[in-house]
Structure 1
Amino acid sequence: MLFNSVDFAVFLPLVFLAYWFVTQHNLKAQNILLLLASYLFYGWWDWRFLSLILFSTIIDYTIGLHLHKTNRSQKRKLLLWLSLLINLGFLGFFKYYNFFLDNLIEAFTFFGTPLQARSLSIILPVGISFYTFQTLSYTIDIYRRKMEPTHNFIAFAAFVSFFPQLVAGPIERAQNLLPQFFKPRKFNYTCAVDGLRQILWGLVKKVIVADSCARYANIIFDNSDDLTGSSLVLGAVFFAFQIYGDFSGYSDIAIGTARLFGFNLMKNFAFPYFSRDIAEFWRRWHISLSTWFRDYLYIPLGGSRGNTAMQVRNVFIIFVVSGFWHGANWTFIVWGGINALYFLPILLSGKNRRHLDDVASGKIYASFREISSIGFTFILTLLAWIFFRAENISHAWNYIQGIFSQSLFQVPNFDGFIPSKAVLGIVAIFVIVEWFGRTGVYAIEKLGLKWHPMVRLGFYYLLSLAVLLFSGQKQEFIYFQF
């Protein structure tokens, strides 16, 4: 079920009304309703994969209880490894089986020994990368004795399958989200209105910005061999705002939807394209995944401690694994490696914690130095995104070569260049709104709060109307494939 679909527009109000008007005085009934709604939401794509998420839920619920019962070091390690192997095993099979098989066949063929093996027609379960990491945070934190397991299976199952963030995050930690299923929840008008406002802004990002950019990004990337360097630059820009609007838009809708039901999810994006270096970008982009890898992989490996060789190793591991998490394609691995190369000089010079505040904090305009830093960081990010979007390594390399050619200074020549100027205008307005709202949780969090109520409502109605007008070019969210 897509957030930007008629199905969800009917589903959400029905669940909301049942939640607050039928089950509001019974916490257990609320959790059961959320569990059933979440399974309906997930099963809307393919009901067969409900068994997979249920199995994962039962496994980690049971392992969590046994981890807490025993103090024997060896048994606790065995239980943790069991959780890791089962969860990552499912993820590896569904997401990476054909990738490893194809590369194994190519390797044997290269050395003169053709290998006879057939790939499988495997359907990737929606959101498996997200809920797998979410359940793993539960067992790992119990193993580390940072939390105690729950004996309430309904609450745990609702935590694993919570529909607002089930298929594309934020990837919640058990320590943050699970306890919220045990607290009485009362309807809060202010929180609900704020949630609706954030949902609206998420739809603006997705439907108006991302989907509009997607149309021209697809045209340019699909025909990149025949286009000028200037056209290719525009294609990269369109994709940069497509993926940002698409993914951060999903997160905004998820967080806003959760607020309607009395839950607080973690912030997943913090205006990353206003970052002054790559280290800051990764503190602001897909925060739930970046911090997950930091806490459960990077720090256990030693983090930034140790000698230079260890620091380099750890940085490459964290970024390459992050790239591979996104998909079974060498393009994602190279994308991760490129970001590691970007990050290393900052880390080794001790400047990775330099920009912890908001850019131009307390000011309306940024300084020339800040603008230059933002521009340089955006260009680096843009070049890396080409690998993320390209079909393969060769496509990405040819695309970059095409940019740095004499045609870079020619007039763009792709189909639809004239109407694409309107989309560039939309992107420019979007960037301006984001800039003035960069200190908030989301861009329009505080916009218009001091306006006359009728003016403010008019503004929200105009945004809603714009979303409806642009909804004809509906596309799935990019991160569903991950």
Structure 2
Amino acid sequence: MSFISLNFVTLFVCTFLLYYTLPPKYRKAILLLSSCIFIGYYHIAFLIIALLISLATFFLGKWVGQSKHEKDAKRIYISGLCFLITGWLAFRYANLLPGVHWLFPLGISFYTFQALSYLTEIYWKEEEPEENLADFMIYMLFFMKFLSGPIERARDMLPQLKSGKPVAYPSIVYGMKLIVVGLIKKLILADYISPYIDGIFNSIHTASGVQLLMACLLYPVELYGDFSGYTDIALGGACMLGFKLSPNFNRPFIAQTTAEFWRRWHMSLSFWVKDYLYLPLSSGMRRWGQWGVFLSLSLTFAGLGAWHGAGWNYIIYGLIQGLIIFYEMKTATIRNKIKNWIGNPLFTTLSILRTYLLFAFSLIFFRLESVSDALYYIRNISFSTHASWKEVSIGIPDHNCIVAGSALVLILVVLL
């Protein structure tokens, strides 16, 4: 049930009307029922798996929190982590085995990460176990964030479920505005250029060098419009129901370094990875000095790549991010000297371009299905054409260029 579908619009409108016309005591039941319908619409197995993982996490959290001895709490916590991670890995990578074709459950990566953070916070004694099962199930399954996030922390969402505050009219209006912005990003920016970019990536062996170059340069824009547009719709719909979800994007294309880029791109995932993977790893490897930092970054971003998909191309995509960030850390002094030499405006512009180009380059491994295809793509990028320079448009009609370009300017200059 895509957000851009009549089925979802019908579900959301019904949820919205029931949410505000029925007595407030029924609101949680409405949210939980709507979430179950949203998940089960794809496949009943997806709903069953999500319910089982959510219930298991709820009771594991209570057992960890109620354990009187540290050893018992640690044993239950480790068992819970193994259960969640093993389940996620089984669904993610089972289809690589000969003769095995499993369905990858809808949203499992996102609610598994929520479950892992919830158990970890309780084990670290930074959060108390949730006592209300209905609240916890809505936190795990809330349909506006279920499909592709954002990844919510329990401490951010559960208090909102318990507050019982009436939803202010300005919140509903703001939510509508966010949905409109999301639709512009998705339908007018991403969807206008995606068929032509996909066409180049799907025919790399027949595309010219300049077509490969342009597809590489435009793909981050398509990805941003699609994912950020989805996020705005999710945040806007949640806002209309009285919930403030975590932002996922904050003008990522003005980032001057890759480290800053990841503080602005898919922020809920970036901060999750930093808090629960990078910081524990770097703390444990502190005695190794710079090699410890390098290894921590490599493992963190390799894991980030593996989270996106099953394949070495995704791991290489992640490793590229980690290597660039380590390089930026090592060359900070040199870059500051260059900044003082050429001046801040020019340095800022060049830094933004460098960051964008490096991200676009790394996405070649993300977008293509194999490492060999990615390497072929990189080797054949050039300014050469087969027939004429019209190939630089990669087949995008002038009308689409004008509309998508106007949408991009609107997003970057006016809306942001």
Question: Partner residue of 1:228?
Answer: 208
* Superposition RMSD in Å: 2.1
Contact 1:231/1:412 (CA < 8 Å) preserved in 2? no
User: Which residue among 89, 111, 120 is the counterpart of 2:86?
Assistant: 89
In the alignment, the residues of structure 1 paired with residue 323 and residue 309 of structure 2 have an alpha-carbon distance, to the nearest angstrom, of: 20
Question: What secondary structure does 2:391 align onto?
Answer: coil
Residue ranges of structure 1 left out of the alignment (5+ in a row): 102-117, 355-365, 438-442, 445-482
Query: Which residue pairs with 1:75 in the alignment?
Result: 72
After superposition, where does 1:368-447 map in structure 2 within 5 Å? 368-404=346-382, 406-407=384-385, 411-413=389-391, 417=395, 419=397, 421-437=398-414, 443=415
Secondary structure at the residue paired with 2:140? helix
Distance 1:41 1:433, change over 3 A: same
Q: Do the aligned residues in 2 keep the contact of 1:205 with 1:245 (CA within 8 Å)? A: yes
8 Å CA contact 2:88–2:109 kept in 1: the answer is: yes
Letter in 2 for 1:431: L
Partner amino acid, structure 1, of 2:47 = L
| CA offset digits 1:230-277 (Å, max 9, x no partner) | 111221233222211111111111111110111111111011112111
Say whether 1:367 aligns with 2:345. Answer: yes
Deviation at 1:98, TM superposition (A): 3.4
Aligned position for 2:309: 327
Distance 2:282 2:319 in 1: 19
Residue of structure 2 equivalent to 1:20: 20
Q: Distance in 1 between matches of 2:386 and 2:167?
A: 56
Percent identity, aligned pairs only? 33
Kept in 1, the 8 Å contact 2:190–2:223? The answer is: yes
Contact 1:230 1:410 (C-alpha < 8 Å) held by counterparts: no
Equivalent residues, number? 405
| Structure-1 separation of matches of 2:255 and 2:400 | 23
Match of 2:186 in 1: 206
Specify the alignment match of 2:242 in structure 1. Answer: 262
Give the drift of 1:348. Answer: 3.0
Residue 297 to residue 138, structure 1, CA distance change in 2 (3 Å): same
Question: Which of 174, 190, 213 is residue 170 of structure 2 equivalent to?
Answer: 190
Do 1:205 and 1:246's aligned partners in 2 also have CA atoms closer than 8 Å? yes
How far the C-alpha of 1:208 sits from its partner, in A, is 1.5
Instruction: Kindly provide the amino acid, as one letter, of the partner of residue 41 in structure 1.
Output: F
CA distance in 1, matches of 2:204, 2:70: 56
| Counterpart residue number, 1:244 | 224
Contact 1:213/1:241 (<8 A) preserved: no
Shift in Å, 1:415: 9.4
Partner amino acid for 1:327?
G
1:465: which partner in 2?
Answer: none
Q: How far apart in 1 are the matches of 2:296 and 2:388? A: 42
Q: Output one character per residue of 1:55-103: Cα deviation in whole Å (capped at 9) or x when no partner.
A: 111111111111111131111111111211111111111111233x4xx
- Superposed, 1:285-324 pairs within 5 Å as 285-302=265-282, 305-306=286-287, 307-324=289-306
Q: Aligned in 2, Cα 1:18/1:129: closer, same or farther, shift over 3 Å?
A: same
> How many angstroms apart in 1 are the aligned matches of 2:259 and 2:136?
35
Cα distance per residue 1:186-230 (max 9 Å; x no partner): 121101100010011111111111122210011111111122211
What SS does the aligned partner of 1:226 have? coil
Tell me, in whole angstroms, the C-alpha distance in 1 between the residues paired with 2:52 and 2:235. Answer: 26
- Indicate how the Cα distance of structure 1 residues 262 and 418 shifts in structure 2: closer, same or farther if over 3 A, else same: closer
Q: Name the SS of the counterpart of 2:37 in structure 1.
A: helix
Give the superposition deviation at 1:425.
3.1
Alignment-derived partner of residue 10 in structure 2:
10
Cα distance in 1, alignment partners of residues 163 and 170 from structure 2: 19
Partner SS for 2:3: coil
Q: Secondary structure at 1:150's aligned position in 2?
A: coil
CA deviation vs aligned residue, 1:294-353 (integer Å, no higher than 9, x gap): 1001111125954011000000011100000000011111101111121111123457xx
Which range moved further: 302-311 or 43-52?
302-311
2: CA distance between counterparts of 1:424 and 1:368?
28
Q: Does the 8 A contact of 1:134 with 1:172 survive in 2?
A: yes
Residue 254 of structure 2 corresponds to which residue in structure 1?
Answer: 274
Decide whether the 8 Å contact of 2:213 with 2:383 is kept in 1: no
Q: Which residue number corresponds to residue 123 of structure 2?
A: 143
Q: Distance in 1 between matches of 2:311 and 2:30?
A: 38
Distance in 2, Cα, partners of 1:410 & 1:173: 52
* Counterpart contact for 1:131–1:167, Cα < 8 Å: no
1:140-175 CA-to-partner distances (Å, cap 9, x unmatched) read 101111111111101101110011001100000111
**In structure 2, what is the Cα distance between the partners aligned to 1:21 and 1:72?**
48
Q: CA deviation at 1:121?
A: 1.1
Give the superposition deviation at 1:406.
Answer: 4.4
Equivalent position of 1:357 in the other structure: none
How far apart are residue 428 of structure 1 and its match?
A: 3.0
Tell me the equivalent position of 1:219.
199
Please list every run of 5 or more consecutive structure 2 residues that lacks an aligned counterpart in the other structure. 337-343
Please tell me whether the aligned partners of residues 20 and 187 of structure 1 are also in contact (alpha carbons under 8 angstroms).
no
Deviation at 1:185, TM superposition (A): 3.0
Alpha-carbon separation, structure 2, partners of 1:285 and 1:213: 21
TM-score of the aligned structures, taking structure 1 as reference length: 0.80
Shift of 1:405: 6.3
Aligned to 1:225, what secondary structure does the other structure show?
coil
Instruction: Tell me the distance in 2 between the aligned counterparts of 1:279 and 1:38.
Output: 35
d(CA) in 1 for partners of 2:370 and 2:194? Answer: 19
